[in-house]
């Protein structure tokens, strides 16, 4: 079958969604630690105390009122505080990954575990040691770590007191942290990602409601600082160990025109440019693409207010990535027509596609879109590719005898593995695949546990009740066979 020798089969998680231990061994808080759980109907809320000490609730991207402070409120539940307790159970979890035959495990380092506020000159030794033990454990099981340096978790202190990524100085704080990672884990980690789904920083209007201009003005500036931070990290990573393979990471959505109306065809191309190629081109080609000014103008971004220097542009040129990596969950229909049903998913939205099925959370299932996406980015960048996330969030039921039958998940993965096989047959240089939430994790979007992605079930509910015990779902054995036969046995 199609998969090349040494193909990196594996699974993926992120520190803030699995580790828990949010205030253990010197770790500082991140935004997820002041974010409550939600659901598909109820957005997650960020909590704070106002200037008079009264509790308050913010939406994502909301601005703190004058004098307010982010706060963990009593009698409120914060699912990321516990995660699935991987901080204390990583040995058990890695043994299960090894049992499935993982060749790689994609995970992230929590920035605030190494630099609790982000401002420290030296890292927190306990945090550094923790990840050394995790990486050593992976190596002991012959599993190659694939490590994201940032997965939506800037230290809360930087966000609250230093304007986060709207402040140029955050570049230096990030670079100091990234350098620590490269130095400390040299020889243990070779595959790195600088930023998870960096393109989620580029806003996207809902079908029927445009976003305010400031969202784009800030989004473009934040992205620029992150591009520079990433480019500097890539250069340092290469200096410290020329064997390092460093990638970007894009939230890969396959956009389709909603109709054959020429206006939809054009809007669809613009969507690919704004959401997929804008970030991909900067990180893979080292320069802003030709359509950049059009993207800015379309959203009234005032160029004269952007802080982009000649030195920055030179950094981008020097710091291009070695591989293209992306998450893939769905395709989306782009249209100028408003008489359609809007569907959401993974921080974006589009019109319902009548040819696809949708999950209980409204995310479309579209394996053909994966083949399409792979061919597009293979042709555009000519880099090795890893799909660093793909999976189905679904409700699971534990039977009386403890078994968990998840044919829907097996079906989803079977179709996506076949889609990868097709792409490889057609010439795509795909070198790895890490399924999302290989063990159940706290959902990033909704904060739920019951939106489960794993091959491994974790006994924990949305209120924090459960033993945290792990058990194998039917899909565990399916993926084990898939890996053992390099994608031949998908039955
Ligand atoms: C990706 C993120 O956007 O999608 C993950 O990188 C996230 O952190 C995953 O968990 C699935 O999204 P959700 O909202 O179902 O957890």
The whole-angstrom separation of Cα 71 and Cα 186 is 37
363 lines ligand 1 (CB under 6 A): no
**Residues contacting residue 230 through CB under 8 Å, at least 6 positions apart:** 194, 195, 198, 248, 283, 319, 321
Is the CB of residue 340 less than 8 Å from the CB of residue 258?
yes
pLDDT (tens digit per residue) in 20-75? 999 999 999 999 999 999 998 899 999 999 999 999 999 988 999 999 999 999 99
Q: Atom of ligand 1 at shortest distance to CA of 391?
A: 11
Under a CB-based contact definition with an 8 Å cutoff, are residues 171 and 225 in contact?
Answer: yes
Q: What is the DSSP letter of 305?
A: G
- The two structure tokens encoding residue 114: 């190494």
Decide whether any atom of ligand 1 lies within 6 Å of the 128 Cβ: no
Give the DSSP letter string of 225-290: HHHHHHHHHHHHHHHH-TT-EEE--EEEEEEEESSS-HHHHHHHHHHIIIIIIHHHHHHHHSS--T
Closest protein CA for atom 10 of ligand 1: 444
Q: Answer whether 160 contacts ligand 1 (Cβ < 6 A).
A: no
What local confidence, expressed as pLDDT, does residue 340 receive?
86
| pLDDT tens by residue, 71-119 | 999 999 999 999 999 999 999 999 999 999 999 999 999 999 999 999 9
Residue 346 has a pLDDT of 64
| CA 484 – CA 475 distance, rounded (Å) | 14
Instruction: Extract the runs of DSSP E, i.e. beta strands, from 50-138.
Output: 55-58, 69-70, 104-108
* DSSP-derived secondary structure letter, 189: B
106 lines ligand 1 (CB under 6 A): no
Task: Find the angle CA(225)-CA(105)-CA(467) to the nearest 5 degrees.
Answer: 105
The residue with tokens 């490269």 is: 182
Query: Cβ(237)–Cβ(246) under 8 Å?
Result: yes
Q: 307 C-alpha to center of ligand 1: Å?
A: 30
Using CA atoms, how far residue 11 sits from 102, 195, 440, in Å, is 7, 18, 11
Instruction: Give the closest residue to 333 by CA, choosing from 259, 420, 438, 395.
Output: 259
* CB distance 312 to ligand 1 below 6 Å: no
Q: Select from 392, 445, 447, 462 the residue to mutate for testing ligand 1; criterion: most ligand atoms less than 8 Å from CB.
A: 445
By most ligand atoms within 8 Å of CB, the mutation choice from 16, 107, 388, 436 for ligand 1 is 436
Q: Is the CB of 451 under 6 A from ligand 1?
A: yes
Catalytic residue among 197, 273, 315, 448: 197
447 lines ligand 1 (CB under 6 A): no
Closest among 203, 159, 173 to 48, alpha carbons compared: 159
Question: Atom 8 (ligand 1): residue with closest C-alpha?
Answer: 444
Q: Whose CA is nearest to atom 7 of ligand 1?
A: 444
Give CA–CA dist 385/344, Å, rounded. Answer: 26
C-alpha angle with apex 95: 89 to 97, nearest 5 degrees? 105
Active site includes 197?
yes
Residues 248 and 325: beta-carbon distance below 8 Å: yes
Regions of the chain where pLDDT drops below 50:
none
Q: Is 306 helix (H, G, I), strand (E, B) or coil?
A: coil
122 is an active site residue: no
Structure pTM?
A: 0.97
Residue with the nearest Cα to atom 15 of ligand 1? 443
| Cβ of residue 393 lying under 6 Å from some atom of ligand 1 | yes
């Amino acid at each position: 079958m199609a998969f090349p020798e040494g193909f990196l089969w594996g699974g993926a998680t992120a520190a803030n969604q699995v580790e828990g231990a949010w205030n253990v061994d010197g770790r500082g808080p991140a935004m997820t630690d002041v974010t409550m759980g939600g659901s598909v109907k109820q957005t997650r809320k960020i909590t704070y105390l106002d200037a008079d000490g009264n509790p308050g609730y913010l939406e994502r991207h909301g601005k703190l009122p004058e004098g307010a402070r982010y706060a963990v409120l009593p009698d409120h539940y914060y699912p990321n505080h516990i995660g699935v307790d991987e901080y204390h159970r990583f040995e058990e979890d890695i043994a299960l990954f090894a049992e499935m035959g993982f060749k790689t495990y994609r995970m992230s380092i929590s920035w605030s575990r190494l630099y609790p506020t982000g401002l420290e000159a030296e890292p927190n030794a306990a945090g550094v040691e923790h990840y050394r033990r995790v990486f050593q454990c992976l190596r002991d099981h012959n599993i190659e770590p694939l490590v994201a340096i940032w997965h939506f978790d800037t230290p809360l202190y930087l966000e609250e007191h230093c304007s986060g990524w709207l402040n140029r100085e955050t570049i230096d704080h990030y670079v100091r942290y990234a350098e620590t990672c490269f130095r400390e884990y040299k020889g243990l980690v070779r595959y790195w990602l600088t930023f998870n789904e960096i393109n989620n920083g580029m806003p996207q209007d809902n079908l029927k409601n445009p976003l305010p201009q400031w969202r784009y003005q800030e989004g473009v500036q934040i992205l620029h600082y992150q591009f520079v931070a990433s480019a500097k990290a890539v250069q340092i990573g290469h200096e410290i160990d020329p064997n390092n393979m460093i990638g970007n990471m894009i939230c890969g959505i396959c956009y389709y025109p909603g109709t054959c109306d020429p206006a939809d065809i054009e809007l669809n191309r613009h969507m690919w440019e704004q959401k997929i190629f804008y970030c991909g081109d900067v990180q893979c080609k080292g320069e802003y693409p030709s359509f950049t000014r059009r993207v800015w103008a379309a959203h009234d971004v005032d160029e004269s207010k952007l802080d982009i220097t000649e030195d920055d542009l030179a950094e981008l040129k020097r710091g291009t990535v070695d591989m293209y990596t992306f998450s893939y969950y769905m395709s989306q229909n782009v249209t100028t027509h408003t008489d359609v049903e809007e569907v959401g998913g993974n921080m974006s939205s589009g019109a319902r596609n009548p040819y696809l099925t949708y999950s209980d959370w409204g995310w479309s299932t579209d394996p053909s879109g994966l083949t399409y996406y792979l061919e597009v980015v293979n042709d555009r960048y000519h880099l090795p590719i890893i799909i660093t996330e793909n999976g189905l969030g679904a409700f699971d039921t534990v039977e009386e005898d403890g078994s968990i039958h998840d044919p829907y998940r097996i079906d989803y993965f079977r179709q996506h593995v076949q889609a990868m096989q097709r792409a490889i047959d057609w010439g795509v240089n795909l070198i790895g695949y890490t399924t999302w939430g290989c063990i159940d994790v706290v959902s990033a979007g909704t904060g739920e546990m019951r939106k489960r992605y794993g091959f491994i079930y974790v006994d924990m509910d949305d209120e924090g009740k459960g033993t945290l015990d792990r058990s194998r779902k039917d899909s565990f054995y399916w993926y084990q066979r898939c890996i053992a036969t390099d994608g031949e046995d998908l039955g």
